[in-house]
Structure 1
Amino acid sequence: MAPRSRKPIVNHFNVMVVGFAGVGKTSFVRTLLESLKMTMPQDKRDTMFQPSSNGNGQTLIEGPLERTLVPYTVSIDAEVDGDKMVLTLIDTPGFQSSYLIDKQLNDIIGYIEHQFDLTLAEESKVKRNTKAVDTQVHACLYFVDPSKRDLDEQDIRVLNKLSRRANVIPVIGKADTLTLAQRNRLRPTIIKSIYNSHRIPVYGMPEDDDDEDEAEEAATEATDGTDEKTPDAVDTKPKERATLDDFLEQFHSEDEDDEVLAFVDYLRSIPFSVIACEEDPETGSPLKIQDGDKTIHLGRDYGWGKIDCLSDDVSDFNRLKTMLLVSHRRILISDTLERFYEQYRTERLLQRRATKYKSVVASKQILQDLSTI
């Protein structure tokens, strides 16, 4: 009997876009899908979409651009570097009024945690489903409003909470609204807020050594309750964190492996600045722009000039796309499972144990009370 041929393994990769209203999240999703279409044969383009979980993903992504009012998912079959994958994009409504942000953020985190719950439920089965699909959110793109000069209090709150549950990657949407000088000022300002001022653990951001933390704690304990400073007293002032650029200077391309170099390149690129393509307002299809003898398939025409949104000279779109789908995809998937899912799983199991323990104690107390009646 001839050996049964194995079907190629198809990986699932899920990317969520989050941010305030009007920062270009949906436009980015549509541009990303169009860029993937360009690499597909015509027969695959016609059947590229898979049904959305709520049934309206394809309708929302193909028609005229509209404001996203409800979350939706769009999945397509893609092939990257010879690997077959199912790419699922999760678009979310933009944050609006300040008093609604917490509710909207809780809904987003609830969605992420629900995917963890599905995995946990599958693991708890005696007989697991071998065809179960990985729906965990592997990457969360947080779109920063380009009109801001720095991250504000709301951005910081959202980033801190999201970073506890997912790999968050900062992106500047609608980068064409910024001059080159404005972009060059905004990027280091955002990095300083994330890395130095607020120490937000976005994806790939280096963490402080445990030894340094322990030394600081020991120094604090050694000086507690003492008013006079002895000659050998330890300076308790927290050590100022070096800049991210200073941290990256220690890595040299000839001495590092590919994974380290991929992270160094990523950290030097964030936040990615992206520009979405211009679309026909009636059909939602990308406008083909003629620039001399060249046809720009995904671009923008400003009247005074024309740009290709896939050009590395004007946008980080290709860098972000390559980072997500090629250089960091496997790392993002494993990090989601090994760090975020395992952390959530531990929390849930401890919570269940605590609830069960409280129930047992309460039951014993009730029996004792009944015995005295």
Structure 2
Amino acid sequence: MASTGAVSPVAPTRASPSPPGPDAQPLVDRSFSPVANGQSPAPQTVASKDPKVAAQQANDMRNIVRRKLTGYVGFANLPNQWHRKSVRKGFNFNVMVVGESGLGKSTLVNTLFNTSLYPPKERKPPSLDISKTVSIQSISADIEENGVRLRLTVVDTPGFGDFINNDESWDPIVKNIEQRFDAYLEAENKINRMNIVDNRIHAVVFFIQPTGHSLKPLDVEVMKKLHTKVNLIPVIAKADTLTDDEINAFKQRILADINYHKIQIFEGPRYELDDEETIAENNEIMSKVPFAVVGANTEVSTPDGRKVRGRRYPWGVIEVDNEDHCDFVKLRQMLIRTHMEELKENTNNFLYENYRSEKLTAMGVQQDSSVFKEVNPAVKQEEERSLHEAKLQKMELEMKMVFQQKVAEKESKLRQSEEELYARHKEMKEQLDRQRQELEEKKARIEQGRPIEEKGKRKGFSLR
């Protein structure tokens, strides 16, 4: 029913709301529009120097009409449609926890999602053989909160950092991350891509032992191997073993090591349209990195009678959800409440794309630069002319080479024939010289009255 008085509108929350009454104001953009106010439109300039692009931009500007709506249309309800679609489809989030045994990884995961995702661990006898390699364990669970379903997958790395020699202990972790990227890439290359399951790691919570000194060489090496493939979130485990001053000094040393080794950790994105409250909230979250956290699944009673999640000590109670005691609230805020979608987007748009480009380049796949390229007829004609001239020059060079080769072969044959003729001429000349010499000898004998032939032997010519 329409209200009798003119009231301010409220954004619709249903998919197909009924149009408001005649007295309700339309939900429109109330920015100043010269066309809508009867004034001549303000002149707009075209920045492009290309005549074709400039003409297209000018045409687009002429086709843009900025007017105020005189009634309710309904496209302001698009966010609600997207919300319903997302809730119906559900969400998924894959997180990996990396750290040495005994740092409270399972407890922190259970505390983050307020569920018993990890069952209580059984104590193993000392005689039981311990695995010599780092294993990868994945646990998935469907959790629901206020009608929103989340498929949560937690990947644990038991055995990491537990050996005397930890060389190459990060290989199973890196290979598992790359295998998930390869599986997603293979699914993208299939014909049917409707039901692609995203098993990529969206965040890695890296647990740092609360030594109070600095990062260990193993921590530095592992973070350098992972920071280009995943969103890295460092946390100081069991922060209740350090005082506030020790935690602050430890954080400064960790950040100094991270900057020195040029390790990239996840930072909340900053958008131009963010309000001051959102910017202040992101700055406050980033000021707590690395997060000093404490995990606890049980509730304890405080001296004032409150039931809180925390741990009881002889000196008092440490509350997990109290920001004055630890940074658990800020970690949960970044990981779940404010930046979960940013973690997934950064994984898909930056980390996965870089890995995909390197993978395809290594396979010999090259990007065609002519795709999505605006074609200028004059430039294309010039390119074709250059290609044609290069082709003609290549053909001319090949013909010259063939001609020179044939000339060289012909000259070689002529030279060989000339040598054969010269040798034959020389042989015939020598033979004639011998015959002339024999005739002269016979002539001399005749003149001297000597016989031409000796007994038993015939020499020279006989004139008889």
TM-score if structure 1 supplies the norm length? 0.65
Please identify, of 81-90 and 307-316, the stretch whose mean Cα deviation from structure 2 is larger.
81-90
CA contact (8 A) 2:294 2:326 kept: yes
2:441 alignment partner in structure 1:
none
CA contact (8 A) 2:239 2:292 kept: yes
Taking the aligned partners of 1:267 and 1:105, their CA distance within structure 2 comes to: 27
Question: Where does 1:303-342 land on structure 2 (aligned, <5 Å)?
Answer: 303-342=314-353
1:187 matched to 2:198: no
2:362 alignment partner in structure 1:
351
Taking the aligned partners of 1:113 and 1:120, their CA distance within structure 2 comes to: 10
1:68-118 per-residue CA deviation (whole Å, 9 max, x = no partner) reads 97432233334568753222222212322363341x311011111111111
- Structure 1 residues 161, 258: closer, same or farther in 2, change over 3 A? farther
CA contact (8 A) 1:272 1:317 kept: yes
- Structure 1 residues 100, 300: closer, same or farther in 2, change over 3 A? same
1:133-185 per-residue CA deviation (whole Å, 9 max, x = no partner) reads 21110010111111141112221111111101100011000000001111121
Taking the aligned partners of 2:345 and 2:220, their CA distance within structure 1 comes to: 26
Question: Where does 1:130-141 land on structure 2 (aligned, <5 Å)?
Answer: 130-141=194-205
2:305 alignment partner in structure 1:
294
2:99 alignment partner in structure 1:
19
Q: What is the aligned counterpart of 1:113 among 175, 178, 185?
A: 178
CA contact (8 A) 2:136 2:172 kept: no
1:201 alignment partner in structure 2:
264
Q: CA deviation at 1:9?
A: 2.2
- For the aligned residues, what is the CA RMSD? 3.1
- Structure 1 residues 312, 31: closer, same or farther in 2, change over 3 A? same
CA contact (8 A) 1:80 1:326 kept: no
Question: Where does 1:39-54 land on structure 2 (aligned, <5 Å)?
Answer: none
- Structure 1 residues 150, 117: closer, same or farther in 2, change over 3 A? same
- Structure 1 residues 98, 258: closer, same or farther in 2, change over 3 A? farther
Question: Where does 1:128-277 land on structure 2 (aligned, <5 Å)?
Answer: 128=193, 130-195=194-259, 197-204=260-267, 261=280, 263-277=282-296
SS at structure 1 position matched to 2:89: coil
Question: Where does 1:55-70 land on structure 2 (aligned, <5 Å)?
Answer: 61-64=118-121, 70=135
SS at structure 2 position matched to 1:75: strand
Taking the aligned partners of 2:264 and 2:318, their CA distance within structure 1 comes to: 34
Q: CA deviation at 1:120?
A: 0.5
Q: Which amino acid aligns with 2:190?
A: K
1:194-237 per-residue CA deviation (whole Å, 9 max, x = no partner) reads 12x2221121299xxxxxxxxxxxxxxxxxxxxxxxxxxxxxxx
1:97 matched to 2:160: no
Taking the aligned partners of 1:262 and 1:106, their CA distance within structure 2 comes to: 37
Taking the aligned partners of 1:91 and 1:123, their CA distance within structure 2 comes to: 26
Gaps of 5+ in 1: 38-48, 50-57, 207-250, 278-285, 355-373
- Structure 1 residues 269, 64: closer, same or farther in 2, change over 3 A? same
Q: Which amino acid aligns with 1:21?
A: S
Q: Which amino acid aligns with 2:354?
A: Q
Taking the aligned partners of 2:149 and 2:276, their CA distance within structure 1 comes to: 25
Q: Which amino acid aligns with 2:105?
A: K
CA contact (8 A) 1:18 1:142 kept: yes
1:361 alignment partner in structure 2:
none
1:45-89 per-residue CA deviation (whole Å, 9 max, x = no partner) reads xxxx8xxxxxxxx6xx11236689743223333456875322222
Q: CA deviation at 1:303?
A: 2.0
Q: Quick check: which has more Rg, 1 or 2? A: 2
Taking the aligned partners of 1:259 and 1:121, their CA distance within structure 2 comes to: 38
Q: CA deviation at 1:328?
A: 0.9
CA contact (8 A) 1:159 1:202 kept: no
Taking the aligned partners of 1:341 and 1:137, their CA distance within structure 2 comes to: 10
SS at structure 1 position matched to 2:149: strand
Larger RCO: 1 or 2 (CA < 8 Å, sep 6+): 1
Taking the aligned partners of 1:328 and 1:81, their CA distance within structure 2 comes to: 19
Please identify, of 291-300 and 8-17, the stretch whose mean Cα deviation from structure 2 is larger.
291-300
- Structure 1 residues 89, 293: closer, same or farther in 2, change over 3 A? same
Structure 1 vs Structure 2: percent identity of aligned residues?
A: 31
- Structure 1 residues 66, 131: closer, same or farther in 2, change over 3 A? farther
- Structure 1 residues 76, 262: closer, same or farther in 2, change over 3 A? farther
Gaps of 5+ in 2: 1-15, 17-83, 125-129, 366-464
Corresponding residue pairs, total: 272
- Structure 1 residues 166, 64: closer, same or farther in 2, change over 3 A? same
TM-score if structure 2 supplies the norm length? 0.53
CA contact (8 A) 1:76 1:87 kept: yes
Question: Where does 1:26-41 land on structure 2 (aligned, <5 Å)?
Answer: 26-33=106-113, 35=114, 37=115
CA contact (8 A) 1:262 1:328 kept: no
